Amino acid sequence: MKQDPAEKTEIRGRVEKVYRSEKPRLMARLRAAGRSLEEAEDLVHDVYAETLARLPVVPGIRNLPAWINSLFTRRLIDAWRHERVRKASGETDVAEATLREIISGTGLDPQETYVRECLADAIDDALRTLPKAQRQVVEAQVFGGKTFREIAAATGASIDTLTARKRYALRNLSQALRHWIDR
């Protein structure tokens, strides 16, 4: 079913209105569940991005806030399950400062040519394994020296989306480098 541009604009307006009215409630719910502000914003953003991706079905939804709330609840349950699986497998997040501490604690001198080359190879390998969207953000910032605003203008993605992609990329890179250090 094709929608004309005016209808799409009206539907987007309806979703945006619900977003503005429901976001504080959803954020409070996540914060009460022990999520950080960053995690809460990411989850709310993901739910509304998914809603916008399903724009053709929105006109058939009588109670859009309730529908979004149920979608949000499912996402929250998925996040809890994922977290429980990660903890059961022993996986932890390694922050950048922790990574530096681990490297310095091993007695390796990052100035040493061999270690530097191996670390560069490990970083290259880790970058190649990132999803394309995450890799593009990291490469644009690190190698291109671009700001989120410049990347957003070039790609059309929102700054919130780009910051989330970078955060996920850094988490994935730190996990990959942790495995490199453990070898």
pLDDT tier at 96 (50, 70, 90 boundaries)? low
Whole-model pTM: value is 0.44
Classify residue 130 as exposed, middle or buried by CB count within 10 Å of its CB (0-12, 13-18, 19+): buried
Identify which of 52, 50, 49 has the alpha carbon closest to the alpha carbon of residue 12. Answer: 52
Identify which of 88, 78, 168 has the alpha carbon closest to the alpha carbon of residue 129. Answer: 168
Q: Is residue 181 scored above 80 in pLDDT?
A: no
What CATH code is assigned to 96-182? Answer: 1.10.10.10
Q: How many H-runs (helices) and E-runs (strands) does the chain carry?
A: 8, 0
How long is the chain?
183
Determine the pLDDT at residue 182. Answer: 67
- pLDDT tens-digit series, residues 98-157: 666 666 666 665 566 676 777 777 888 888 888 888 888 888 887 788 888 899 999 898
User: How is the chain split into domains, by residue range?
Assistant: 5-89, 96-182
